[in-house]
Amino acid sequence: MLRFLCSAVLLFPLLVSSVGAQVPPEWRERYDAIVDRGVKSCKDNKVFENLRREAQEGDPLAAYWVYNSMSRKTCVRYSSNPFNRTSYLEQAAKAEYPDAVRLYGKNMLYGYGLKKNPNKGIGYLKKAYELGSPYGASELAYAYGKGNVVRRNPKLALEYLEKAIKAGIDRKQMTVIASAMPYDLSLKAWAVIDNTKPDPNWHAAVVAVKPAAQSAEAAVKPVALSSFSFKPLSAYDTGKSPGRSQKRQSRFTKWLEGR
């Protein structure tokens, strides 16, 4: 019964990766070159400003770290307004850095700092998984299992949970996903958890599968980032007093703190 006790208090998905977890090989060298400064930028204003300058000069990983530092309450340059930091996330996502694509999709799915668009948000999460982010799959498992922003789909929830486990998400993530589901679906989720092992070759298998054969869910296709036109911040931040939906976003600030 302990597996289901937290389901009632999960108001927002806590599906968040440790920064740098599961960095795809094609990004590893660039990530390793910046990770130490990225971590320091949380507490060191000078390091933060240097990274922001590099982001403005076109470095997507610098933009990713700037976004991270602006998203955490414990960081010196934290911004409580999600619109202030979205442009940096957009920059990293447009460069197809997998975890940035995941965060961009998640923010769009729930309307956090972006205009809410569940269909496109789902598309970005699928794209993140295909690019090499295990947490793209875990976000999808959560969304399809909980059914609060997209229609609940038990089949897809379990499929993406299995994919996420094979891709290497940790036990805490699995618990959050299963606990967010209705009791009967949660039982099936725990069966998947207990019978699925990580697969070190998971991404090679994903890349090898033709997009048309990846899933029967033709209604929502992955977004082609190279052809997507990212809207500038001005398209979202109108300068008007925050409406009910923006006020509601403040309830979810803690969601970003665990990233």
pLDDT band for position 162 (cuts 50, 70, 90): very high
Mean pLDDT, all residues of the chain: 80
Here the tokens at position 131 are 């690019």
Q: What number is the average pLDDT over the span 181-196? A: 96
Architecture of domain 2-10+23-251: Alpha Horseshoe (1.25)
pLDDT of residue 120: 97
Question: Which of the residue ranges 84-88, 154-158, 187-191, 228-232 would you say has the lowest mean pLDDT?
Answer: 228-232
Q: Which two tokens stand for residue 244?
A: 């009910």
Domain assignments of the chain as residue spans, ordered by start: 2-10+23-251
Higher pLDDT, 75 or 207: 75
Q: What percent of the chain has pLDDT over 70?
A: 72
DSSP structure string for 188-248: HHHHHHHH----TTHHHHHHHS-HHHH-S-TTSPPP-GGG--PPPGGGT--SSPP-HHHHH
178-198 burial: b if 16+ Cβ within 10 Å, else e: bbbbeeebbebbbebbeeeee
pLDDT of residue 22: 66
- Does residue 83 carry a pLDDT above 90? no
Residue 6, pLDDT score: 42
* Amino acid letter, 183: Y
H or E element, residue 22: none
* Stated pTM of the model: 0.75
pLDDT tens digits, one per residue of 202-228: 888 887 764 544 443 434 444 444 333
> What per-residue confidence (pLDDT) applies to 23?
78
- Exposed, middle or buried by CB within 10 Å (0-12, 13-18, 19+), for 127? buried
